[in-house]
Structure 1
């Protein structure tokens, strides 16, 4: 049983596309089909059912995927155990949203550079939706964002949570006043892009879908939202931890509201794909780095799951 056939099957099950799998493995679609057929002959069962350009795993395919993933994971662990960390020349492709980039991602990056000096580390900053799309297409190894990847084979866990605050320019907001939700809804709002996890929280917060049709400015960039708020375009709900300097300088003020905005949970997702030697270790290091960051800041601003002190 060839290792390449096992690895190809796992990548194919993850990417759900023969063309993307061929591109990811730097080979051709006929080669992918040939490897799959060889594995099915060796196992004596059909693993994949093709329906035009789409396909799905058979019950035997799901069982084979579970066993083969463990075999390859154990083999990668064995290789990693014999490897000198200074000589592990792999590419780590990390995707993160702005709130993570602005808090503890630089610390994680420095630790990875120190632990694996031969590794090439690529950082992609984007929206949750785009990062998850890159993950599913095999273009990222691990993501830190607001939604998990729910497909089979992926692993996801909550890294940390951040408190949210409504913020705005002192030209627009009376810092000594407590606003009702209705009064807040009447103000111009700055939100994350439509369809994003924070955007989906707006209507339930106001208990009124019509708020989404009011005066809105949208952005998929947290720094842009903060800049718009400073310039008086409206009020925005953002992680409080990322605007501490602006609040301290008076560029922004907190909007005191009689109903707090729910916190955001940040989730790590990765796929232990064959050859991804360091992905699991990166995930664990990210968990520790996020937890460490949370212990160093006001516990009401950031915390690990199950331990908010607010």
Structure 2
């Protein structure tokens, strides 16, 4: 549950009017309705009874309101405390992330960090795993989110979340109703990340023979480029499902039915354990929370936290 959702519910309960709540929060009435519906799905019950423009809190809604008000009061107190803490003034945290993170839960993480630490400066870099680990070893990052961990005495690592991987392609070159074997896929052009990258290392064992890929492989170090190549029918690729939700809904891409499933991809967070210890600890806590909040908003089969 996001702070934004709690704030929305409290404002809605206070005004008893969608328009006035939207005006206070500088958003739209449909956005307020979407947030309320998401909260009711998460709690599994109705929080408000609505009749036209009038509505009232249900008993469950009254309990939620009381809890949200207490949480927000505590949150505001903590926020003020941290804002007044001289040790947090003008701090900088350098975060590196792969495309699959930047396109999913990185924005909520940055929003949560800014909300919790108003004076914190965030430097965000989006790169491949290899470059992120190299940068971590060279002291260019405080925290990275990649497919592999950074290894060293000064580093600590954790699994932020796990992403389901699926084979996907355009209906120009695949039949969504057909089940494809490994041999079937091996005869098709493959779109993936460059050789010697962690995603490629997941592809090669799937086929058990790298030579199969030699003449059929197109590579790119950009997730967005890979998605566009798949849409244009240049090949098929194994990709995190959550990164192509929109394309799947629009019918631009289709999941490929396969006889052998592709293994899921863990997202590993690595962080400096010796510099700015308290700040980095808090950033890691927010990262865990942001990843968990994101996973709670999507199909549990697409992304999850162990």
2:282 corresponds to which residue? 281
Q: How does 1:45-194 map to 2 (within 5 A)?
A: 84=85, 88-194=89-195
CA–CA separation in structure 1 for the residues paired with 2:176 and 2:270: 39
- Does structure 2 conserve the Cα–Cα contact (< 8 Å) formed by 1:185 and 1:206? yes
CA–CA separation in structure 1 for the residues paired with 2:203 and 2:274: 36
- Does structure 1 conserve the Cα–Cα contact (< 8 Å) formed by 2:82 and 2:88? no
- Does structure 1 conserve the Cα–Cα contact (< 8 Å) formed by 2:186 and 2:213? no
Pairwise CA distance, 1:85 = 7.4
2:215 corresponds to which residue? 214
- Does structure 2 conserve the Cα–Cα contact (< 8 Å) formed by 1:85 and 1:116? no
CA–CA separation in structure 1 for the residues paired with 2:104 and 2:83: 34
Structure 1 unaligned residues grouped into runs of 5+: 1-79, 306-310
Deviations 1:27-78 (A, max 9, x none): xxxxxxxxxxxxxxxxxxxxxxxxxxxxxxxxxxxxxxxxxxxxxxxxxxxx
Report SS of the residue matched to 1:299: coil
CA–CA separation in structure 2 for the residues paired with 1:158 and 1:142: 13
1:260 corresponds to which residue? 261
CA–CA separation in structure 2 for the residues paired with 1:198 and 1:152: 26
Pairwise CA distance, 1:152 = 1.1
Pairwise CA distance, 1:157 = 0.6
Structure 2 unaligned residues grouped into runs of 5+: 1-80
1:39 corresponds to which residue? none
Q: How many residues align?
A: 226
CA–CA separation in structure 2 for the residues paired with 1:255 and 1:101: 25
Pairwise CA distance, 1:119 = 1.4
Deviations 1:276-299 (A, max 9, x none): 541111011101111121122111
Between 110-119 and 96-105, report the one with greater CA deviation: 110-119
Q: How does 1:195-206 map to 2 (within 5 A)?
A: 195-206=196-207
Task: Rate the CA distance shift 1:190–1:85 in 2: closer, same or farther, 3 A.
Answer: farther
CA–CA separation in structure 1 for the residues paired with 2:186 and 2:105: 32
Report SS of the residue matched to 2:213: helix
Pairwise CA distance, 1:249 = 0.7
1:297 corresponds to which residue? 298
Report SS of the residue matched to 1:159: strand
Pairwise CA distance, 1:151 = 1.1
CA–CA separation in structure 2 for the residues paired with 1:221 and 1:91: 27
With normalisation by structure 1, the TM-score equals 0.70
Pairwise CA distance, 1:244 = 0.9
With normalisation by structure 2, the TM-score equals 0.71
Report SS of the residue matched to 1:274: coil
Pairwise CA distance, 1:127 = 0.1
Deviations 1:118-166 (A, max 9, x none): 1111110000000111111011110011100111121001110010011
Task: Rate the CA distance shift 1:84–1:304 in 2: closer, same or farther, 3 A.
Answer: same
Deviations 1:186-222 (A, max 9, x none): 0000011211111001121111221231311111111
Task: Rate the CA distance shift 1:198–1:185 in 2: closer, same or farther, 3 A.
Answer: same
Q: How does 1:3-22 map to 2 (within 5 A)?
A: none
Task: Rate the CA distance shift 1:171–1:82 in 2: closer, same or farther, 3 A.
Answer: closer
Pairwise CA distance, 1:95 = 0.2
Deviations 1:80-139 (A, max 9, x none): 999627952111110000011111110000011111111111110000000111111011
